[in-house]
Structure formats: C-alpha cells, structure tokens
C-alpha cells in the first residue's frame, strides 16, 4: 500500500531572536490555540515546516508485522531507512501509517533446528522418583532467587538446589556440597575457558545449568571505493548448557553463540528465554546469527510498519535444557531496555528518542505555530508578504523579517513590549511542555509465549518513562504500568506520575495521571488488584492504588521521612520497604541518611501505616538491595530477613562499640525476624572488616537458606549460621583466587 502525504509549503528560517524564545525543546509540531492570550488576530496562512517525503517501497505495507523474505531485503530496508530517517521526522518513535491485522509468527522457515542431544536417563524426573525406596533425601527445603513473578525464574550468579551451591565468579564455576553445613566443602572449581569474556549469570534446572557470558567476534568490511579490509567488531552472547549430574565431572551439552549483547533472560519450567540486542551497522549490516558447533542458524527477521529513528536487532531465543533450540526470532525496533515476563507473555520496552537534527525543525515550528500568531496583525502581514516572495532566498528573507521585528519592538512602549514578550514566553513554555510530553514516551511490545514458541501480539506507547521492571505487571489479561513524565521550561522541571491500564491488545482502557506533582517514582510493587507506589522529592508519599476496575483510584496515602527504593510483599497485609532515611538540612534541602527499612501495614487500604523502622548507619552506608532485588532474602515461614550492608565501620556503629580502630570497612548482613507489626533484631554476620587485599574476590551480596541454616555470600566467602541463633556460625568457606582449576570441560558425545 502506498501512503500519500499532502504537499506542504515549506519556509526555511534559520535565525532566532533570543529575546523572544529559548531553543531547547525537541519534539513534533503542534498548532496551538492562543485566542484568549493574543491581543491580535493570528497569522492564518497555511505555513508548514515539513516537506513531502517519498516513502521507500520497502516501507509500504498494510500489515502490523512484516517478515523479511531474505537477508538482502533486510540490508535494502536498512539502507532505505538511513535515507528516510534523515528526511522524515519520526522523532525516534512510532509514526502510525496503516495497521490492520495483528501479525502471527511461528513458522520455521529459514530456521535450522538442532537435533536434541539425548538427556541422560531420568534427567528431568523429580527427585522423589530418583530416590530408592527407604533412602533418605539429602535435599532440604531451600529458598531460591528473589524474583518478581512467581514461577518465572531470573538468572543469577548463585543458584542452589537444597544440597549443592553453584557460583559463577572470575570465569570460574564453583560447585559446593553445602548441606549439612558442618561438612560443607568445595567439590570442584571449573575454569570455563572463556578468557577475555565476561560471565553474566545462570539458571539451574535439576542437574543442568545454562551459563550466560559475552565476548566479541570479528569480521571484515571494505569501505566504498576502497580496497583495504578493515575489522568490524561485534558483540556476542554465549549460552552454555552444562550437565552437572556428576559433580566432580561436569560436561558441556552444547553452546549457543548468538550475535548481540546479553540483555535479559527468564526461565519458565525447563524453557529458557534469552533476549539479546545489537546496534545496526548501516554501512555493513550484519544479520544476527546463532552458531552451534559447526552449524549456523539464521533466525527470521521481522519489522513493523512504523519507522524508528534508530534500529537495533533484538533477538529472542528459546531453548530447553536438553539442548534443543525451540525458536529464535529477530525484530528490528528500538533497543530493548526493560522487560517484564509473565508465564504467558513477554513485554519488551524502550524509550522513544529525538535526535539533535530535529532541533532546527522545532525552532521553525515554534516560530510559525507560537510566536507569529501572537505578534501584532500588521507585523504578521509584513512577514507573510516577505515569505510569499520567492525572489528572495531564505537568508535574505530572515534578514528582512529580523528588521521588521526589531522595528516593531522599538516602536512599542516598554510595558507593551514586556507584556508581549511575557505572553510569548508563556505560550512557548506550554508548547515546549506539550511537545516534550508527546515524545518522552515508553514503547511496549507484547509477545505471547507457549512452551518456547512465540506469537507477536501488539505494540503501544504510554507517556513517561519506567523506573525498572517493577513498574510493570500483568494481571488477569491486563497490563498495568507506572510511569514518570518529565518536561522542562526556562525556570523549572515539571514532574508527575501516572498509572495506565492496557487490555490484552495493549489498548489503553484506564489511567490515573498527575500523581504527586513535582515528584518522581522511587519504587513500585503490584500485588493483585493493588499497586503500592512510592514517590519522593522532599518527603516519601506511600500510595495505595486500587486497580480492581479499569480506572485506577488512590485509596490511601502516607507521608513519612525518607523513601523506599524497593518494596517487597511480606503478606497480604504488610509491605516491607527498603531505601534511605532523610532529613532537611540547614539550607532547606534534603539530606540522605542511612539505609532505612520500613514495615507498612496496609490492612486498611485507606489508612496505611508505618508500624516499625530500622535505620542502619549514615549516608556513607550502602546496601545492594537499593539497586538489585536479588540481594534480598525475606521469608515469612522461616521468620527471616537478611539485609546486606557495606560501608565504613564508623558509619555503622558507635565508636564505643568498635574494638579495632584500624578497621576501615565493614561488609556483612543485618538479620531480622518479625513479630506481628514489627521487626526483631536477630544479629549480624560480618564478612569483611579491614582493607581489601589483592587476593579478594568481588561478589555481589546474596542470602538464602537450606534447611534451618542461613547462607550468606559476599566478597569471596560463604558463611553458614543457624537461623534461630545467628551468632552461631556453623561453617565458612573461602572463595578467593586459590585452588586447582580444570581448564576446559569435556563435551557430551552424541
């Protein structure tokens, strides 16, 4: 389908009178109505900024999702996009052309499917089936990675199965026989033979691991009209499946090498979903590939009819732990940023962006749409006559326009001129705010999942930007999202917060906007038909928002000092908030203090209460939970919450309690229990006190339990303490750079 665009007359104005307006916005144009503000009749000529642009044939379509038929077609599309984006103002987002039916893809055309490597007998059987009658189960109850969605696992560098612990660090996989704790020991350290490449994290499924790491590959290209090849470096993500049924002799099942950077991953059942993305090289486009052994797999590539300002290849790959590649598809769209995955759907989001080249476009439109209609009618008419005269080039036209404006302003009384400038500036502030709000939006793509197969559903936009994955949620087929909108004027930043409800086809069916003006979202947590939201600027409003209908409603709010960076449900009546305490300083500003832990009672939605708090240390103290939810262990049944803390020891404890003055750092865990509406101090677990040595191993803080033992990991050591008696250390293991390392894993033979 060919899209026709009306021809517009364009006038090029390259100058700006500084006294009239300030350049700084970047957005599409609006025609504003200032009838109530203007002392004169508006300029009514049909002047427009944008020229007609012929849309390349490769863009023409009536479909919502388009599959490329060949690599050559992809390359041609990207070449067309380079020229198209330089002429057509898409403003970094989605320009709606024509959309009809939703695209469906589950075709295997163009996809080379690997034959599965047979799993060892009983590989995916439950442990109960593996145990002989009358034998004792060595596996205990245990906690897993702290995740957002139940039954949707998130990759991490530490995993346990209730008997063994698997740790990725320093390009090494360490396997530990962890239970019982008194006899815990390292079984094996395995070098993964991935020098100059970086480990990411892993999943554990029965006796198999999948480990993600990334590196780079190299190819060569030749510049146009040149002869000398030059290197082209491309990021690559590796996914290696390892069989660890024999803990002392692990073996590689298979390795997938996928073009692009590791973005994120999830595991549902025994199916792994991996998302990678890589920047498009418009000069020498390289279509993403998957390599497995000597076989090359080229996923199908899809695009959307709405042009993007900057394209990225976003590849979604699904495989199971037997080494069977189920599906892999690549999408040309903006670079995947934050993702959310339920058991049924994947949501990929990213921010629209506006490149600097559109600033000139905005400058022109601000003049025609805002400034010109507010000038005296006689001045408008003079300018119109100049612009209608084709004998003058744009430079000469602007020089004459400038003279007209200067002359008009000089003839005005001071008060009259200042009043006009004020009216124009206020109109420009409104214009800038509106166009910024329109372009600072989040794009959402929804993809349905079914045991490793994909089906594209729809895409949409919502105003504002997301804080993180916890700003999104799916419940009963509806997608809910919390955003912060931000715009700037000449003298202030305008902030507000919003909640949007979208149906299963991503149509917005409800919204609540302008929550907590002049503040931004610091944390969000959806729980069923409720949203708990924390915003902050000077004080922490904790909101309870009802989502039981399509129209969100604020039920209650609580204003307290400090803020929460992370919210964790304790039970249906209590939320735990972890963030920082604050106070007003002597200059009237806000000063951040120590790490604050709050318990919120939300049993009465209209009157939430903060029933207990703990503040650890001062502003020099930090906790990984403020940035990574996986660092938290909270379990109601075990009556335990473990909080990692790092900082200068004098910022944590009173000097009278510090036994060794030369200790500079204290790294460890503050452990709490619960008693109705309050916290119970259980004790401290110190992992490091002093200066870091050359042999130290940096590790993110993690806590988990096996049986009745709390396991804590931080900076090269694991400590095991009784949950009911934290001061009793049952064992500890050093993970420093020592020990024999097997250089390479053997591969399972077909």
The structure tokens listed for 21 are 């307006």
Which residue among 561, 592, 619 closes a domain?
619
The answer to whether residue 263 is domain-embedded is yes
Q: Are 558 and 665 members of one domain?
A: no
Q: Are 578 and 498 members of one domain?
A: yes
The answer to whether residue 464 is domain-embedded is no
Nearest of 211, 212, 209, 269 to residue 245 by alpha carbon = 209
First-to-last C-alpha distance (Å) of the chain:
50
The pLDDT score that the predictor gives to residue 41 is 40
Q: Are 205 and 294 members of one domain?
A: yes
Highest mean pLDDT among 29-43, 81-95, 193-207, 721-735: 721-735
The pLDDT score that the predictor gives to residue 13 is 33
Q: Are 611 and 626 members of one domain?
A: no
Burial code of 302-319, b = ≥16 C-beta within 10 A, e = fewer? bbbbbbbbbbbbbbbbbb
The answer to whether residue 375 is domain-embedded is no
Q: What is the DSSP code string of 511-532? A: EEEEESTT-EEEEEEEETTEEE
> Does the pLDDT value for residue 648 go beyond 60?
yes
Question: What is the C-alpha to C-alpha distance for residues 340 and 492, in angstroms, rounded to an integer?
Answer: 33
Question: What is the C-alpha to C-alpha distance for residues 317 and 176, in angstroms, rounded to an integer?
Answer: 30
**Least trusted range by pLDDT, from 19-23, 353-357, 532-536, 579-583:** 19-23
The pLDDT score that the predictor gives to residue 720 is 98
Q: Are 636 and 551 members of one domain?
A: no
For 465, which DSSP code? B
The answer to whether residue 345 is domain-embedded is no
Q: Are 173 and 199 members of one domain?
A: yes
Which residue among 591, 619, 647 closes a domain?
619
pLDDT band (50, 70, 90) for residue 655: low
Average pLDDT over residues 271-295: 88
Report the CATH number that the domain containing residue 537 is assigned in CATH: 2.130.10.10
pLDDT one-digit tens code per residue, 42-81: 433 333 332 333 444 444 443 578 899 888 888 888 887 7
Instruction: Name 180's Cβ contacts closer than 8 Å, sequence gap at least 6.
Output: 707
Q: What are the backbone angles phi and psi of residue 183, rounded to the nearest 5°?
A: -110, 15
The structure tokens listed for 417 are 């001129």
Token match 């994290």: residue? 201
The structure tokens listed for 476 are 């009963």
Q: Are 603 and 628 members of one domain?
A: no
Query: Where are the alpha helices (H) located in 328-376, listed in sequence order?
Result: 359-366, 372-374
Which residue among 588, 619, 650 closes a domain?
619
The answer to whether residue 192 is domain-embedded is yes
Higher pLDDT, 78 or 275: 275
The answer to whether residue 607 is domain-embedded is yes
Q: Yes or no: say if 501 and 523 are a contact pair by the CB < 8 Å rule.
A: no
Structural domain including 176 reads: 113-118+138-221+228-298
Highest mean pLDDT among 27-31, 249-253, 269-273: 269-273
Highest mean pLDDT among 332-336, 426-430, 610-614: 610-614
Q: Are 568 and 578 members of one domain?
A: yes
Question: What is the C-alpha to C-alpha distance for residues 383 and 397, in angstroms, rounded to an integer?
Answer: 9
CA distances from 32 to 42, 49, 372, 388 (A): 11, 15, 11, 23
pLDDT one-digit tens code per residue, 733-747: 998 754 455 555 777
Nearest of 627, 719, 722 to residue 669 by alpha carbon = 719
The structure tokens listed for 150 are 């139940």
pLDDT band (50, 70, 90) for residue 570: very high
Q: Yes or no: say if 520 and 559 are a contact pair by the CB < 8 Å rule.
A: no
Edge to edge, the sheet with strand 478-488 lists 472-475, 478-488, 493-502, 508-515
> Does the pLDDT value for residue 414 go beyond 50?
yes
Q: What are the backbone angles phi and psi of residue 743, rounded to the nearest 5°?
A: -75, -30
The answer to whether residue 123 is domain-embedded is no
Q: Yes or no: say if 616 and 595 are a contact pair by the CB < 8 Å rule.
A: yes
Q: Are 169 and 294 members of one domain?
A: yes
Domain count, the chain: 3
Q: What are the backbone angles phi and psi of residue 74, rounded to the nearest 5°?
A: -60, -45
Q: Are 611 and 631 members of one domain?
A: no
Q: Are 533 and 656 members of one domain?
A: no
The answer to whether residue 261 is domain-embedded is yes
Q: Are 152 and 285 members of one domain?
A: yes
Average pLDDT over residues 127-143: 55
* C-alpha triplet 31, 491, 422: angle, nearest 5°: 55
Across the chain, mean pLDDT equals: 81
């Amino acid at each position: 389908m060919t899209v026709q665009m009306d021809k517009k007359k364009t006038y090029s104005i390259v100058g700006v009178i500084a006294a009239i307006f300030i350049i700084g916005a970047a957005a599409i144009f609006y025609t504003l109505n200032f009838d109530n503000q203007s002392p004169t009749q508006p300029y009514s000529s049909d002047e427009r900024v944008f020229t007609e642009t012929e849309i390349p044939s490769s863009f023409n379509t009536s479909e919502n999702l388009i599959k490329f038929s060949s690599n050559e077609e992809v390359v041609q599309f990207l070449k067309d996009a380079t020229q198209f984006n330089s002429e057509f103002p898409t403003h970094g987002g989605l320009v709606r052309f024509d959309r009809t039916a939703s695209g469906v893809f589950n075709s295997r055309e163009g996809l080379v499917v690997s034959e599965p490597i047979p799993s060892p007998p009983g590989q995916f059987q439950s442990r109960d089936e593996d145990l002989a009658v009358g034998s004792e189960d060595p596996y205990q109850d245990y906690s897993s990675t702290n995740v957002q969605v139940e039954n949707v696992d998130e990759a991490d560098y530490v995993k346990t199965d209730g008997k063994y612990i698997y740790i990725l660090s320093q390009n090494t996989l360490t396997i530990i026989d962890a239970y019982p704790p008194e006899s815990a020991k390292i079984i094996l350290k395995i070098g993964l033979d991935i020098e100059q490449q970086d480990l990411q994290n892993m999943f554990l499924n029965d006796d198999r691991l999948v480990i993600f790491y990334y590196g780079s590959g190299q190819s060569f290209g030749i510049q146009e009209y040149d002869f000398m090849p030059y290197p082209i470096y491309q990021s690559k993500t590796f996914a290696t499946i390892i069989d660890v049924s024999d803990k002392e002799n692990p073996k590689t099942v298979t390795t997938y090498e996928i073009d692009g950077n590791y973005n994120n991953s999830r595991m549902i059942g025994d199916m792994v979903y991996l998302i990678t993305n890589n920047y498009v090289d418009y000069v020498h486009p390289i279509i993403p590939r998957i390599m497995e052994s000597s076989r090359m797999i080229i996923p199908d590539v899809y695009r959307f009819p709405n042009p993007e300002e900057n394209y990225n290849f976003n590849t979604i790959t699904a495989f199971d732990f037997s080494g069977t590649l189920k599906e892999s598809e690549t999408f040309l769209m903006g670079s995947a940023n934050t993702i959310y995955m339920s058991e049924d759907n994947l949501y990929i989001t990213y921010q629209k962006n506006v490149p600097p080249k559109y600033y000139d476009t905005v400058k022109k439109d601000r003049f025609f749409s805002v400034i010109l209609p507010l000038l005296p009618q006689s001045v408008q008419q003079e300018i119109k006559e100049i612009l209608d005269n084709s004998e003058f080039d744009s430079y000469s036209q602007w020089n004459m326009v400038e003279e007209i404006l200067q002359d008009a302003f000089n003839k005005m009384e001071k008060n009259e001129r200042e009043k006009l400038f004020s009216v124009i500036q206020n109109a420009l502030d409104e214009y800038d705010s509106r166009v910024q709000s329109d372009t600072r939006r989040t794009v959402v793509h929804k993809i349905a999942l079914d045991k490793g197969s994909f089906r594209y559903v729809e895409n949409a936009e919502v105003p504002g930007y997301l804080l993180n994955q916890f700003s999104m949620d799916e419940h009963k087929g509806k997608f809910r999202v919390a955003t912060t909108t931000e715009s700037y004027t000449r003298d202030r930043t305008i902030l507000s917060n919003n909640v949007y409800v979208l149906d299963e086809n991503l149509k917005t069916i409800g919204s609540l906007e302008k929550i907590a003006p002049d503040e931004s979202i610091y944390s969000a947590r959806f729980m069923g038909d409720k949203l708990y939201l924390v915003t902050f600027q000077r004080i922490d409003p904790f909101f309870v928002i009802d989502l039981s209908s399509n129209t969100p409603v604020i039920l209650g709010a609580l204003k307290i000092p400090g803020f929460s960076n992370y919210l964790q449900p304790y039970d249906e009546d209590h939320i735990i908030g972890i963030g920082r305490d604050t106070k007003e300083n002597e200059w009237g500003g806000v000063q951040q203090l120590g790490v604050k832990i709050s318990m919120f009672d939300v049993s009465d939605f209209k009157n939430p209460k903060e029933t207990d708090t703990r503040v650890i240390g001062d502003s020099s103290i930090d906790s990984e939970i403020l940035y990574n939810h996986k660092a938290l262990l909270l379990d109601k049944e075990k009556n335990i919450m473990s909080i990692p803390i790092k900082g200068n020891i004098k910022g944590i404890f009173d000097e009278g309690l510090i036994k060794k003055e030369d200790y500079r750092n204290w790294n460890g865990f503050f452990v709490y229990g619960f008693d109705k509406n309050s916290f119970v101090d259980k004790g401290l677990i110190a992992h490091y006190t002093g200066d870091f040595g050359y042999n130290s191993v940096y590790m993110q803080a993690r806590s988990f339990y096996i049986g009745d033992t709390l396991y804590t990991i931080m900076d090269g050591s694991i400590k095991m303490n009784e949950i009911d008696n934290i001061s009793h250390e049952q064992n500890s293991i050093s993970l420093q750079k020592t020990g024999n390392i097997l250089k390479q894993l053997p591969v399972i033979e077909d």
